[in-house]
Amino acid sequence: MKRRHLLKTLTVLPIAGSLIPSSFILNASPLNTTPVKTKPVDYFEELGVKRVINAAATMTFLSGSLMLPEVLEAINSTAHDFADMYELQDKVGVKIAEMLECEAAMVTSGAACALVLGTAAAITGMDAEKRKQIPNLPGPRPEVIMQKNHRYVFDQAITTTGAKIIEVENVPEMEAAINENTVMALFFNAAESWYGIEDSITHEQFIAISKKHSIPTFIDAAADVPPVENLFKYQKMGFDLVTFSGGKMIRGPQSSGLLFGKKALIDAAKLNYSPHEAPIGRPMKVNKEEIFGMYAALKAYLAKDHEEEWGMWLKRTQQISMVLEKVPGVKTAVYIPTGRANVFPTVDVFWDKEKSSLTADTIYNQLKNGTPSIVCSKTERNGDKIINIGVVLLKTEQVKIVAHRLKEILTGQ
Ligand SMILES: *Cc1c(COP(=O)(O)O)cnc(C)c1O
């Protein structure tokens, strides 16, 4: 279509609009985003994908979390118009920074992406040439300091930038490790919870040493709400960068995350990210709806009555315990992790191993392979291999379903 012709059609349309049946306009516009009303499709069924009841935690392989209604609303209501992605990321960032009482913030495609971008920011600063060359900068590799007992699977996100991880085991080693190639120091907040160890350098020592040598500090607290206070704690302590997953207990899109802290670093992180064409973060882009969704999730999470929610979770553990303890030999206990990650009520389930041939594995598999499919956790308490039931990701009506299905298995039905 010639441009002149197109313009003519566009100017005519609003006038002609009232004369054309609406169905015609719908079909004529390839950009129409309003779903055509047809019978709802059950995509789980169409693809033969099992619906799973999540009686565990916000595990990535189980799709993380379920988005809050506010998030779905934000996604749906913003999907119908274009936005300038630079403006959106900037404006959402200003709001999130206000909400989290820090200098600056941005939405990333998960905490793992935030780890890449934060490290890239520490390496490149505002240097365009370095942005282009990363992860293959000339000269010695940039160095990121970590405690040896904090090393974890997600630190590959750090080395993705070309950086090398330098392990230290105590304060003097950390002091000695800092040199002209050091670009950042990374603290894995949940190391104690994951490994049952103690940090060999405390948060405060870690920050103090880094500050003394002007090295930016980054803390990965991806799964560390509740309590909600943790969203404020680490920037107040003095960490320059903080990340949380959006798709865990904050209940944003699974593919979203937060990176926040010092403005200079967030500015540099944005330059290493989409919508810029080529930087290291481009293959990890977050879309418009996810950005709006992350914002809506954080807003809803901060506004929520956390005490009431905690009370509801405890009530669920009681409901489940009452059903299970009717089975002879079965005992339950509320278990709340004492560490920094996944701190919420769960139910430990013990059964008489002298009288029963059931093992944690067989129970886990029976729950998982049954109908409906229920995924719980297997764990160990004082050498006893047991089943642990998470309640925070259950829908109200699923509490009973999980309790009765597990009772059935424990009774040997
Ligand atoms: C989940 C998790 C990540 C990765 O977060 P995503 O949002 O899935 O990218 C990183 N670090 C820790 C400690 C985590 O628990």
Structure tokens at 180: 């002209």
Is residue 19 situated within a structural domain?
Answer: no
User: Are residues 373 and 265 part of one domain?
Assistant: no
Q: Give the model's pLDDT for residue 28.
A: 55
User: Are residues 338 and 256 part of one domain?
Assistant: no
Query: Distance of CA 66 to CAs 60, 142, 231, 387, Å?
Result: 12, 38, 20, 23
Low-confidence ranges of the chain (pLDDT < 50): 1-2, 7-9, 11-18, 20-25
User: Are residues 248 and 117 part of one domain?
Assistant: yes
- What spacing in Å lies between the alpha carbon of 223 and ligand 1's midpoint? 7
Distance of alpha carbon 104 from alpha carbon 269, whole angstroms: 11
CATH number at residue 319: 3.90.1150.110
Q: Give the model's pLDDT for residue 29.
A: 66
- Which residue range(s) make up the domain with 230? 67-303
Is residue 212 situated within a structural domain?
Answer: yes
Residue 245 near ligand 1, beta carbon < 6 Å? yes
- What spacing in Å lies between the alpha carbon of 321 and ligand 1's midpoint? 31
Residue 154 near ligand 1, beta carbon < 6 Å? yes
Q: Which of 303, 322, 352 is the last residue of a domain?
A: 303
Is residue 345 situated within a structural domain?
Answer: yes
Q: Which of 188, 218, 220, 225 to mutate to test the pocket of ligand 1 (most atoms within 8 A of CB)?
A: 220
Q: Give the model's pLDDT for residue 23.
A: 47
Q: What is the pTM of this model?
A: 0.91
Domain count, the chain: 2
Residue 281 near ligand 1, beta carbon < 6 Å? no
Is residue 320 situated within a structural domain?
Answer: yes
Residue 117 near ligand 1, beta carbon < 6 Å? no
Is residue 26 situated within a structural domain?
Answer: no
- What spacing in Å lies between the alpha carbon of 359 and ligand 1's midpoint? 30
Q: What is the dihedral of CA 28, 31, 33, 38, to 10 degrees?
A: 40
User: Are residues 385 and 297 part of one domain?
Assistant: no
Is residue 33 situated within a structural domain?
Answer: no
pLDDT tens digits for 220-245? 999 999 999 999 999 999 999 999 99
Residue 220 near ligand 1, beta carbon < 6 Å? yes
Sheet with 164-168: list strands edge to edge. 104-108, 257-261, 241-245, 217-220, 182-188, 143-147, 164-168
User: Are residues 314 and 299 part of one domain?
Assistant: no
Residue 345 near ligand 1, beta carbon < 6 Å? no
